[in-house]
Structure 1
Amino acid sequence: MLDQNIKAQLKSYLERLESPIEIIAALDDSDKSAQVKELVTEIAELSDQVSARFDGQHKRTPSFGIAKVGEQPRVFFAGLPMGHEFTSLILALLQVSGYAAKVSDEVLEQIKGLNVSADFDVFVSLSCHNCPDVVQALNLIAIHNPNATATMIDGAFFQDEVEQRKIMAVPMLFKDDQHIGQGRMTLEEIVAQLDSDSASKDAERLNAKEAFDVLVIGGGPAGATTAMYAARKGIRTGIVSERFGGQVMDTMDIENFTSVQKTQGPTFAADFEAHVRQYDVDIMNLQKVKSLVGADQSATGMVEVELENGAKLQSKTVVLSTGARWREMNVPGEKEYKTRGVAYCPHCDGPLFKGKRVAVIGGGNSGVEAAIDLAGIVEHVTLIEFDTKLRADQVLQNKLNSLPNTQVILNALSTEVVGDGSQVTALVYKDRGTEQLHTIELAGIFVQIGLLPNTDFLKGSVELSNRGEIVVNDRNETNVKGVFAAGDCTTVPYKQIIIAAGDGAKAALSAFDYLIRSSDV
């Protein structure tokens, strides 16, 4: 099951166990159970602090739980936690034993204060790079709440349950069999959702903050770089973000950031955040901005930022780096069948459509890459492109055209997502040349048609282009005094991570220059 290199690494991790633990497996006579038994046995053989039992009782077989010796397990894995979930397994082994999690004292106290009594289930695919964060968050909640359990469920191991629950997107989160969320969620987001009083607590804490010299809105590459450059100037810097990392968190492979030959989005975002935390930056995560008032219009003479929870922050300058989000088709049926056949992340949700027919909407690099990836999993992929030709790089087009189970339809407009009330069954498109409507029977639709800037809250506050992008000059200045902008939310051409990061550095330097010339620093 585990090769020698992985065994050696795991053995070194198990040396950090704080107390003896046991792995208790619930098995049957299936081949899948044999694989789970092999994994559990190999782990137990690597440390005298780990013992294995095969008399477990669980509603899902095969599965195994992890517990301190003498206690009942509260952390469970239904399936084989390999691939992206192997890290979740290692952390569970350590943290169940008492090894301290790498979270702030504030968050840990909030987890312990939940006093939640519930059974949490999260359905995953082992190729999903968003799933481990949710699995690890739920495990930590279960470890610190004696009346809670957390179970990772590999959808490939439990296809019948996946079909029964109509799970067509991962991670998919349930609390006592009631659906409470899907998609990427951080530990802080999950805790905030479970803590009914978190919004008022946050508002009180944020309202008490002193004014900033530079306040950054958005935690993607542009925002992170802005905050780092500003903090290096020795000025009071804060960053407000819905989720640190932004769109990068939904990106799989990154191979074009100079000096980083290859990495994955979540890893890259974590590196960004770790770098920012090396400096004196006040990071305010999980906060959504409601409105912005320029210094000329505010009573305080500073730029004022109001958050959705009611809190208000003040700053001498603000840098807007709110990034962008996936563009939707905006056709009938899309919203109704989102996560029930309509998806936006082929890496995460592709394995749930194994052996089925799917479509990809969009003929740019993202769309063609998605079609290529999916072709190795699903029965057939139909790529729908609005234009009369694909816009992807030629090397990607050549690869797509070489695959036997793909089809490209050009000059086509998607007009409707069709379903049976519970899941997608077909896509309707119009041939733009003949105006004729066609219906493709399929189980999944992956939308890859570009990005929209996250600037809705700025309408009427700063100048926006007809595409909704923040209009900036060559110094990243907006039309509002003391307000700058950087990255994918602006009119700067070419939406690339490296360009956004450079744009953030330029915005920070421009804001600092503004402060100096305003005699405010």
Structure 2
Amino acid sequence: MLDDALATQLKAYLEKVQHPIELAASLDGGAKSQELESLLQEIAALSDKVAYARVDDDLRRPSFAIRRTGSDVQVRFAGLPMGHEFTSLVLALLQVGGHPPKLDDAVVEQIRGIQGEFEFETYFSLSCQNCPDTVQALNVMSVINPRIRHVSIDGALFQDEVEARQVMSVPTVLLNGETFAQGRMTVEEILAKIDTGASDRTAETIKGKAPFDVLVVGGGPAGAAAAIYAARKGIRTGVAAERFGGQVLDTMAIENFISVPHTEGPKLAAALEQHVREYDVDVMNLQRATGLVPAREPGGLVEVTLENGATLKSKTVILSTGARWRQMGVPGEDQYRNKGVAYCPHCDGPLFKGKRVAVIGGGNSGVEAAIDLAGIVAHVTLVEFDDKLRADEVLQRKLRSLSNVDIVLSGQTTEVLGDGQKVTGLSYKDRVGGDLHRVELEGVFVQIGLLPNTEWLKGTLELSPRGEIVIDDRGATSLPGVFAAGDATTVPYKQIVIAMGAGSTAALGAFDHLIRHSAPADATETSAA
């Protein structure tokens, strides 16, 4: 299972194991059980602190637990954690073996202090780039607090279970048998849901913060670049982000980031956050902005209100709230979200193996999704509103070469159909002839572009007819001291590298505004002292 290079790398990691651990397997006579047993035996052979045993104590087979000898600390996987989940396996080995996790001391203490019994189950797919973050977050929490137990389940390997529990998107997390969350989650996000007092405590902490010189709202590529450029000027910089990394976290392959031939969204997002934290930046994650109050006088403070009720003040603000997947806005879409309606073909595609699906959208994203899904599902129907596909010609040629793909042009989706539990079909209207058509299928993947996250700014500053923040060549908005960057703005091309450049421009624009209109906050405080 492990090639020589991977085995050598894993052996080096296992040298960090401090406590003996056991790989306890539950197997049957199938091929996947044989593969798992081979993998676990190979891992055990790499370290004298790792032992393998077949115990057959779990009904899910193949599965295994990583157990710290002489304790109740353990992490469990159902399936083979390869692909994107191999990193989850390595981290679980190290953490169960006593290697400390990379978490702030305050977060570790918060996890230890959680009371109650928590049985988490996470369904993942090996092709899902968002799943490892959720799996790793719950794994590390279960290592720190044994009252929190976690098993990660490969949905593609346990199809009967997935069908019975109506799991149609990954990652899907169940807590004590009930749906807890769907989508990528960090340790902090999970804590916010199970530690009911966390939000109030955070709000009180934020309320006590001194005004910033530059406050960045948003933690995607534009926000990260803005924070770094501002911090390098030696001024007081803060970042309030609903989800650090933003839309990048939902991106699979990134092959046009200059000087980096290939990377993946979560990896790039982690690098962005690490780079920001190397500077003196106050990062406030999981903070959703809900209001903006302009400065009441020239050189005054701009206020940003957060969802938890706290308010942040700053001499300048950079808005980099990004964008989200655009919805179709038809009956049934919201009802069957994560019950057959999906937005990430890489994540959720494996759950529709052998089934019929539709892809809505004929741009690059839609055509790429149809091509990827065609290799997994029984049949793909691509529905495009326009009378022609808008994807690159090379992608169109590939799509048309696939025998299990139908292309519908001039098709207006009118309704997502279902039986109350899951998607059963799709209705669309022929925009030329006016006829209504129904397609029997089990999944609908929506790929129709992005919508800027600017609803909370309506009536406050100038927005374009599409809801984008109007900016000039320095990133300045219609409000003095307020700048913007990235996919939430009128910048014509929504690309990672462009967002980074725009964030840097906005930070330089904000700094120029500061030196022309006010002294930095630290300087004011020093002179007052």
SS of residue in 1 equivalent to 2:480 = coil
Q: In the TM superposition, what is the alpha-carbon distance from 1:148 to its structure 2 partner?
A: 2.2
Partner in structure 2 of residue 251 of structure 1: 251
Partner in structure 1 of residue 205 of structure 2: 205
Partner in structure 2 of residue 445 of structure 1: 444
Q: In the TM superposition, what is the alpha-carbon distance from 1:30 to its structure 2 partner?
A: 2.5
SS of residue in 2 equivalent to 1:235 = coil
Q: In the TM superposition, what is the alpha-carbon distance from 1:56 to its structure 2 partner?
A: 4.0
In 1, Cα distance between equivalents of 2:297 and 2:51? 66
1:455-489 deviation line (CA, Å, top 9, x unaligned): 01111111111111111112211111111111110
Partner in structure 2 of residue 187 of structure 1: 187
In 2, Cα distance between equivalents of 1:296 and 1:403? 61
Check whether the contact 2:341–2:423 (CA below 8 A) recurs between aligned residues: yes
Check whether the contact 1:116–1:145 (CA below 8 A) recurs between aligned residues: no
Q: In the TM superposition, what is the alpha-carbon distance from 1:132 to its structure 2 partner?
A: 0.4
Matched, 1:454 2:453: yes
Name segments (4+ residues, structure 1) moved above 6 Å: none
In 2, Cα distance between equivalents of 1:292 and 1:206? 16
Partner in structure 1 of residue 113 of structure 2: 113
Q: In the TM superposition, what is the alpha-carbon distance from 1:161 to its structure 2 partner?
A: 0.3
Check whether the contact 2:363–2:389 (CA below 8 A) recurs between aligned residues: yes
Gaps of 5+ in 2: 521-529
In 2, Cα distance between equivalents of 1:49 and 1:289? 48
Q: In the TM superposition, what is the alpha-carbon distance from 1:520 to its structure 2 partner?
A: 2.2
TM-score, length of structure 2 as denominator length: 0.97
Greater Cα offset, 471-480 or 213-222? 471-480
Partner in structure 1 of residue 482 of structure 2: 483
Matched, 1:137 2:137: yes
1:349 is aligned with what amino acid? D
Greater Cα offset, 468-477 or 123-132? 468-477
Partner in structure 2 of residue 26 of structure 1: 26
Check whether the contact 2:74–2:96 (CA below 8 A) recurs between aligned residues: no
In 2, Cα distance between equivalents of 1:2 and 1:73? 26
Check whether the contact 1:131–1:170 (CA below 8 A) recurs between aligned residues: yes
1:87 is aligned with what amino acid? T
Partner in structure 1 of residue 524 of structure 2: none
In 2, Cα distance between equivalents of 1:494 and 1:31? 48
In 1, Cα distance between equivalents of 2:213 and 2:408? 52
Check whether the contact 2:73–2:146 (CA below 8 A) recurs between aligned residues: no
Partner in structure 1 of residue 396 of structure 2: 397
In 1, Cα distance between equivalents of 2:157 and 2:55? 20
Partner in structure 2 of residue 386 of structure 1: 385
Q: In the TM superposition, what is the alpha-carbon distance from 1:297 to its structure 2 partner?
A: 7.0
Gaps of 5+ in 1: none
Matched, 1:323 2:322: yes
Task: Sort the Cα spacing of 1:328 and 1:361 in 2 relative to 1 into closer, same or farther, 3 A.
Answer: same
Q: In the TM superposition, what is the alpha-carbon distance from 1:296 to its structure 2 partner?
A: 2.2
In 2, Cα distance between equivalents of 1:376 and 1:99? 40
Partner in structure 2 of residue 175 of structure 1: 175
Partner in structure 2 of residue 506 of structure 1: 505
Partner in structure 2 of residue 371 of structure 1: 370
Greater Cα offset, 508-517 or 2-11? 2-11
Partner in structure 2 of residue 467 of structure 1: 466
Matched, 1:304 2:303: yes
Partner in structure 2 of residue 427 of structure 1: 426
Q: In the TM superposition, what is the alpha-carbon distance from 1:115 to its structure 2 partner?
A: 2.8
1:353-364 correspondence runs (5 A): 353-364=352-363
In 2, Cα distance between equivalents of 1:249 and 1:347? 12
In 1, Cα distance between equivalents of 2:105 and 2:512? 37
SS of residue in 2 equivalent to 1:142 = helix
1:12-53 deviation line (CA, Å, top 9, x unaligned): 111110111111111222322222211111111111100111
Check whether the contact 1:142–1:149 (CA below 8 A) recurs between aligned residues: yes
Q: In the TM superposition, what is the alpha-carbon distance from 1:405 to its structure 2 partner?
A: 1.1
1:292-339 deviation line (CA, Å, top 9, x unaligned): 1000279x9310111010111100000000000000001000000000
Check whether the contact 2:125–2:348 (CA below 8 A) recurs between aligned residues: yes
TM-score, length of structure 1 as denominator length: 0.98
1:395 is aligned with what amino acid? V
2:107 is aligned with what amino acid? V
Check whether the contact 1:296–1:481 (CA below 8 A) recurs between aligned residues: no
SS of residue in 2 equivalent to 1:331 = coil
In 1, Cα distance between equivalents of 2:226 and 2:77? 40
Partner in structure 2 of residue 4 of structure 1: 4
1:37-52 correspondence runs (5 A): 37-52=37-52
In 2, Cα distance between equivalents of 1:413 and 1:496? 28
In 1, Cα distance between equivalents of 2:454 and 2:201? 27
In 2, Cα distance between equivalents of 1:260 and 1:35? 34
SS of residue in 2 equivalent to 1:80 = coil
SS of residue in 2 equivalent to 1:5 = helix
Q: In the TM superposition, what is the alpha-carbon distance from 1:78 to its structure 2 partner?
A: 0.5
Check whether the contact 1:117–1:145 (CA below 8 A) recurs between aligned residues: no
How much identity, in percent, do the aligned residues show?
A: 61
Q: In the TM superposition, what is the alpha-carbon distance from 1:149 to its structure 2 partner?
A: 1.1
Partner in structure 1 of residue 84 of structure 2: 84
Q: In the TM superposition, what is the alpha-carbon distance from 1:182 to its structure 2 partner?
A: 0.4
1:363 is aligned with what amino acid? G
Partner in structure 2 of residue 98 of structure 1: 98
In 1, Cα distance between equivalents of 2:116 and 2:49? 29
In 1, Cα distance between equivalents of 2:232 and 2:416? 50
In 2, Cα distance between equivalents of 1:321 and 1:13? 38
2:27 is aligned with what amino acid? L
In 2, Cα distance between equivalents of 1:439 and 1:41? 51
Check whether the contact 2:73–2:143 (CA below 8 A) recurs between aligned residues: no
1:261-291 deviation line (CA, Å, top 9, x unaligned): 1111111111111111111111100000110
1:56-108 deviation line (CA, Å, top 9, x unaligned): 41232221111111234531000100100010010001001110101111211
Check whether the contact 1:317–1:483 (CA below 8 A) recurs between aligned residues: yes
In 1, Cα distance between equivalents of 2:475 and 2:149? 49
In 2, Cα distance between equivalents of 1:91 and 1:209? 35
Q: CA RMSD in A?
A: 1.2
SS of residue in 2 equivalent to 1:53 = strand
